[in-house]
Amino acid sequence: MSKKKSYMNRDNIISEGFFDTLRKYLIKYPALKKDKKVQNSIKSLNGNTKELEKLLNQRFKELNPKHKSIKLSKYKISDFI
């Protein structure tokens, strides 16, 4: 039986490869999990995400006062593994 083309198949998904490369290095080098620079970068990423969330909520309220506020999830080191 031939393999069906599925958009949900991980092999067929078009990606830039950034997260796959990051995942490969975090699995290959588990010391990166405890690296202070990596942890600080993830904290910085979460801070930038929080600023974006705040800015988006502010803009949505200006456009539509009844708009519900959005909540973006925080990143963890396990998200990249």
Residue 41, in any domain of the structure: no
Domain that holds residue 81: 46-81
* Stated pTM of the model: 0.55
Q: Per-residue pLDDT averaged across 53-80, rounded?
A: 88
If we measure between CA atoms, which residue out of 58, 52, 49, 59 comes closest to residue 79?
A: 49
Number of structural domains found in the chain: 1
Residue 60, in any domain of the structure: yes
Residue 15, in any domain of the structure: no
Specify the DSSP class assigned to residue 78: G
Residue 70, in any domain of the structure: yes
Could you report the per-residue pLDDT of 11-48, keeping only the tens digit for each?
545 555 667 777 777 777 677 777 888 889 889 999 99
Residue 25, in any domain of the structure: no
Residue 6, in any domain of the structure: no
